[in-house]
Each structure stands twice: as structure tokens, then as C-alpha cells.
């Protein structure tokens, strides 16, 4: 059964004390698991005193220390890590087995205020998250392929972020980590060294850069001096031979100098291992600033093609995220990725008639028709089977 994209379910939840973060497992897995029985909720099994409790998606009520009777069978599955609160019906998924988009949400605070931020920051102390994040990391599958770190700006945690990265490295040594950061605090050589060392060779630092000139970048991130700090941070990454990805969100303020930015990245930042051009996510500030940001992608694909080919022709690794295949010229299809996190990814009604639906990024759940290109139309036929990588 296909899972619903939501990371939250409701149900009758009993026996929870305070906040509890627990792993859901079938009995077959639980009996052989690397976790304490007190960390485990049994999936569709009657109570077993050894375990923390049981969870049902089939309308059954089991006896046990913690019992959860879910309203839906489309959200939670064995392997997931869930957060439960005393006297609350909410079951939140913190880690979803099988998803390629698992992320640790590190903080809501940020030192920038980007004009298209999909997750507007809140200036509240939320260091309480750290304890929950450390707990969550202990319950993630040991063979998890990738784990993201997001916010807010994760580096505002300073050395506490280093401790969290080190915990991941210790508990999940084979997992690739992907940290979204504006890079500004990496201008501090001591913090940069600490975080890059803690992340190790399986961590990629994804840093946004929106222009080749300070005035435009700073205007987009609404922070004077940000361009210089980010560049300083990027050179710290280079100094430590860290793995870096540059992210560029495409909108009316970043597009006019996109070709110049591509040239700048090749000339000044040749050490980055990946450049991602990203369609706009219509959430948060992007929605409220639509009049300053929105361009139908079909009207900028020639600029995008110029920037993409400039970098690719020089041997740089380039991707295009969040844009449907039908708005891209076929020459750009090899760069297009299914990039939208599974829990917020949808397709249009017309996509049912499209032969590339399974390979297409589709749309953000938040992209109502006013945020979709006028060029959306099903692809009826491929000229060659290898048209999409
Ligand atoms: S019709 Fe839908 S599935 Fe096909 S390319 Fe366009 S957005 Fe993608």
C-alpha cells in the first residue's frame, strides 16, 4: 500500500509519560533488534510486557504499557521512529523507513531572512530539540543511506551541532549526511574546523549562493554582509577539503545574473562537487513575496539551459531540482532529478496520461494551479528510451 505523504497521524494513544520517542518494529524484528525493548513499540501485536507498548492500524485495541490505535493505516509503518506526547492523540513520524528524505529539523532560528524562505524562522530558543534529536539518532536504522539536517540555520547551534554530527558518525557510520546551511558561520575558522571534522567525509554541506555580486545575494537573503561571509565560509570548506554543494533557487531576483553566477562558480569555486538549480517552493515567504519572485519556468528555461551547460561543459556536476520534465527542453532532462521530498510531492491530474510520470519531479504539495507552469502537458511519447537518465 502506498503511504500517505503526511508525517502525522492521530489515534487513541494511552500510557505515554511526558514526551516519548520510540521505534516501531514487528515482533520478528524486535526480538533481534539492536535496541532495548523499552525503546520498541510492537506493530500489530498484542501486548508483551518486555516492550514499551503496541500500535495497531487495524482498529484493534491491545493491552499494554503504551497502546496506540491509529485512525489511518496509511501513515505509520514498522521501522519508523515516532514522537508521542502524554494525553495527546498525535503520532508524529521523526524518521520514516524507506524514505529518501529523512531530515533532522535542528532549529527554527536563522541568521538570514531569505525572501523566498519556505520555512520562515522564529526567534525562539529551541535548544530543547537537541535532546530529542540525539534520541532520534539512536533509533534510526543502522543501514539508512542518507540523513538530512535542516532548519532554520543548523550552525546556530555551534559546537552542539558538532556533537550531533559526531553522534551520527558514531551510531550511523555508513549513512551519508546532508546539511543545509547558509555557510555564513563557517567564516569562523575554529567553528568551521570543528563542524567539518565532526561531519567527516560522508557529509555534504549544501550552501545557497544567489548571485555573483554581494548586493543581489544580500538583498535576497535580507542580511547585509552575508555574501562575503558565505564566500569566506566556502573557502573554509575548500581549506578542509570538505564536500560542498551550491544551491540556487530560481526566481525573478536570482535569474537575471544566473549565467554570470554559473561563470563565477566555475572560476571561483571549482572545488564544489555539485551545483543544484532549484525551482521555487511556494511556501512561507515565497508565497507572501510572490509578486517579487514568480516567473513561469517556461519563461526562464533558456537562461537555465545556458547556466547548466556552462557548468556541465566544464566538468562540473549539475542538477535541476523541483521542475517538471514537460517544462524543460529535452536537452536538460539528463540533469533533472526527482528532488521533492516524498511527503510533500504530488502530480497533476494530467500526469496520469504522461509516459514519464515515474521519472518526473512533479510538484510541491503547496503548488496550487497558480504556481504551476502554463506549459504543463503530458508527454505522450519518447523519441528514444534513453531520453531520461
Ligand atoms: S505531465 Fe506531469 S508527469 Fe508529465 S512531465 Fe509534466 S508534470 Fe511531469
Q: pLDDT of 226-271, one tens digit each?
A: 999 999 999 999 999 999 999 999 999 999 999 999 999 999 999 9
Is the domain of 251 the same as that of 233?
yes
Atom number in ligand 1 closest to CA 361: 8
- Taken as a whole, the chain contains a residue count of 389
Ligand 1 centroid – CA 325 distance (Å): 6
53 within ligand 1 shell (Cβ under 6 A): no
Total domains in the fold of the chain: 2
Whether 329 shows a pLDDT value over 90: the answer reads yes
Contact 224, 113 (CB under 8 A): no
Is the domain of 82 the same as that of 109?
no
Atom number in ligand 1 closest to CA 376: 6
What are the pLDDT digits (tens) for 335-345?
Answer: 999 999 888 99
- What is the distance between the alpha carbons of residues 203 and 223, in angstroms, rounded to a whole number? 27
- What is the distance between the alpha carbons of residues 154 and 111, in angstroms, rounded to a whole number? 10
Is the domain of 119 the same as that of 71?
no
Going by C-alpha positions, the residue among 173, 240, 156, 247 that lies closest to residue 210 is: 247
Whether 302 shows a pLDDT value over 60: the answer reads yes
360 within ligand 1 shell (Cβ under 6 A): yes
324 within ligand 1 shell (Cβ under 6 A): yes
pLDDT (0 to 100) of residue 386: 58
Alpha carbon nearest to ligand 1 atom 6, residue = 326
Q: Which of 376, 377, 388 to mutate to test the pocket of ligand 1 (most atoms within 8 A of CB)?
A: 376
pTM (predicted TM-score): 0.94
Is the domain of 196 the same as that of 225?
yes
Alpha carbon nearest to ligand 1 atom 3, residue = 357
- What is the distance between the alpha carbons of residues 85 and 87, in angstroms, rounded to a whole number? 6
Q: CA 234: distance to chain centroid? A: 21
Ligand 1 centroid – CA 260 distance (Å): 30
Q: Where does a domain end: 51, 70, 95?
A: 95
378 within ligand 1 shell (Cβ under 6 A): yes
In a domain, 2, yes or no: no
Q: Where does a domain end: 67, 95, 123?
A: 95
In a domain, 317, yes or no: yes
What are the pLDDT digits (tens) for 120-168?
Answer: 999 999 999 999 999 999 999 999 999 999 999 999 999 999 999 999 9
Whether 47 shows a pLDDT value over 60: the answer reads yes
Whether 383 shows a pLDDT value over 70: the answer reads no
DSSP-derived pairing of the beta strands 66-70 and 274-278: unpaired
In a domain, 1, yes or no: no
- What is the distance between the alpha carbons of residues 263 and 267, in angstroms, rounded to a whole number? 6
350 within ligand 1 shell (Cβ under 6 A): yes
What are the pLDDT digits (tens) for 85-132?
Answer: 999 999 999 999 999 999 999 999 999 999 999 999 999 999 999 999
In a domain, 214, yes or no: yes
The whole domain housing 32 covers: 8-95
Would you place residue 389 in the very low, low, confident or very high pLDDT band (cuts 50, 70, 90)? low
Would you place residue 384 in the very low, low, confident or very high pLDDT band (cuts 50, 70, 90)? low
Atom number in ligand 1 closest to CA 357: 3
Q: Tell me the H-state helices in the chain.
A: 27-30, 128-139, 159-171, 189-199, 214-221, 226-239, 258-268, 285-288, 290-293, 301-312
Ligand 1 centroid – CA 156 distance (Å): 39
pLDDT (0 to 100) of residue 2: 63
Is the domain of 124 the same as that of 59?
no
Atom number in ligand 1 closest to CA 378: 1
Q: What is the domain-level CATH number for residue 182?
A: 3.20.20.70
What are the pLDDT digits (tens) for 361-375?
Answer: 999 999 999 999 999
pLDDT (0 to 100) of residue 281: 97
- What's the average model confidence in pLDDT over 326-351? 95
In a domain, 32, yes or no: yes
Is the domain of 319 the same as that of 369?
yes
pLDDT (0 to 100) of residue 118: 95
Is the domain of 250 the same as that of 374?
yes
Calculate the average pLDDT of the chain.
94
Atom number in ligand 1 closest to CA 354: 4
pLDDT (0 to 100) of residue 342: 86
Ligand 1 centroid – CA 98 distance (Å): 24
- What is the distance between the alpha carbons of residues 111 and 151, in angstroms, rounded to a whole number? 11
Is the domain of 270 the same as that of 158?
yes
Number of neighbours of residue 118 by Cβ within 10 angstroms: 17
Atom number in ligand 1 closest to CA 325: 5
357 within ligand 1 shell (Cβ under 6 A): yes
pLDDT (0 to 100) of residue 322: 97
Is the domain of 76 the same as that of 119?
no
Is the domain of 90 the same as that of 122?
no
Q: Which of 352, 357, 365, 367 to mutate to test the pocket of ligand 1 (most atoms within 8 A of CB)?
A: 357
Peptide bond into 152 cis (omega under 30): yes
- What is the distance between the alpha carbons of residues 55 and 61, in angstroms, rounded to a whole number? 8
Would you place residue 223 in the very low, low, confident or very high pLDDT band (cuts 50, 70, 90)? very high
Ligand 1 centroid – CA 375 distance (Å): 10
Atom number in ligand 1 closest to CA 360: 8
Is the domain of 25 the same as that of 121?
no
In a domain, 166, yes or no: yes
- What is the distance between the alpha carbons of residues 157 and 133, in angstroms, rounded to a whole number? 13
In a domain, 3, yes or no: no
DSSP-derived pairing of the beta strands 243-249 and 274-278: parallel
In a domain, 65, yes or no: yes
- What is the distance between the alpha carbons of residues 208 and 215, in angstroms, rounded to a whole number? 15
Ligand 1 centroid – CA 94 distance (Å): 30
Q: Where does a domain end: 47, 78, 95?
A: 95
Is the domain of 193 the same as that of 90?
no
pLDDT (0 to 100) of residue 48: 78
347 within ligand 1 shell (Cβ under 6 A): yes
Amino acid at each position: 500500500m502506498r503511504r500517505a505523504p503526511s508525517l502525522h497521524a492521530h489515534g487513541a494513544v494511552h500510557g505515554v509519560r511526558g514526551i516519548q520517542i520510540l521505534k516501531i518494529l514487528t515482533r520478528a524484528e524486535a526480538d533481534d533488534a539492536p535496541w532495548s525493548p523499552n525503546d520498541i513499540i510492537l506493530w500489530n501485536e498484542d501486548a508483551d510486557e518486555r516492550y514499551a507498548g503496541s500500535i495497531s492500524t487495524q482498529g484493534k485495541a491491545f493491552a499494554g504499557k503504551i497502546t496506540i490505535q491509529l485512525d489511518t493505516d496509511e501513515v505509520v509503518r514498522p521501522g519508523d521512529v515516532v514522537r508521542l506526547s502524554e494525553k495527546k492523540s498525535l503520532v508524529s513520524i521523526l524518521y520514516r523507513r524507506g524514505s529518501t528524505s529523512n531530515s533532522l529539523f535542528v532549529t527554527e532560528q536563522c541568521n538570514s531572512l531569505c525572501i523566498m524562505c519556505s520555512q520562515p524562522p522564529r526567534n525562539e530558543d529551541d535548544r530543547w530539540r537537541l535532546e530529542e534529536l540525539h534520541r532520534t539518532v539512536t533509533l534510526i536504522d543502522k543501514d539508512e543511506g542518507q540523513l538530512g539536517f535542516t532548519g532554520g540555520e543548523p550552525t546556530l547551534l555551534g559546537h552542539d551541532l558538532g556533537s550531533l554530527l559526531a553522534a551520527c558518525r558514531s551510531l550511523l557510520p555508513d549513512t551519508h549526511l546532508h546539511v543545509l546551511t547558509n555557510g555564513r558561520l563557517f567564516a569562523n575558522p575554529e567553528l568551521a574546523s570543528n563542524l567539518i571534522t565532526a561531519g567527516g567525509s560522508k557529509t555534504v554541506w549544501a550552501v545557497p549562493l544567489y548571485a555573483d555580486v554581494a548586493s543581489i545575494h544580500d538583498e535576497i537573503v535580507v542580511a547585509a554582509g552575508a555574501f562575503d561571509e558565505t564566500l569566506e565560509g566556502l573557502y573554509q570548506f575548500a581549506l578542509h577539503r570538505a564536500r560542498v554543494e551550491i544551491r540556487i533557487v530560481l526566481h525573478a531576483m536570482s535569474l537575471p545574473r544566473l549565467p554570470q553566477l554559473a561563470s563565477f562558480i566555475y572560476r571561483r569555486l571549482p572545488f564544489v562537487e555539485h551545483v543544484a538549480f532549484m525551482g521555487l517552493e511556494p511556501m512561507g515567504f515565497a508565497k507572501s513575496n510572490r509578486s517579487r519572485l514568480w516567473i513561469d519556468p517556461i519563461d526562464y528555461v533558456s537562461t537555465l539551459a545556458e547556466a547548466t551547460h556552462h557548468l556541465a561543459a566544464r566538468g562540473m556536476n549539475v542538477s535541476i531540482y523541483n521542475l517538471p520534465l514537460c517544462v524543460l527542453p529535452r536537452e536538460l532532462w539528463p540533469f533533472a532529478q526527482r528532488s521533492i521530498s516524498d511527503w510533500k510531492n504530488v502530480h497533476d491530474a494530467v500526469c496520469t496520461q504522461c509516459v514519464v510520470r515515474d521519472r518526473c519531479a512533479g510538484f510541491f504539495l503547496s503548488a496550487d494551479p497558480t504556481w504551476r507552469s502554463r506549459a504543463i502537458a503530458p508527454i505522450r511519447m519518447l523519441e528514444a528510451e534513453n531520453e531520461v537518465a
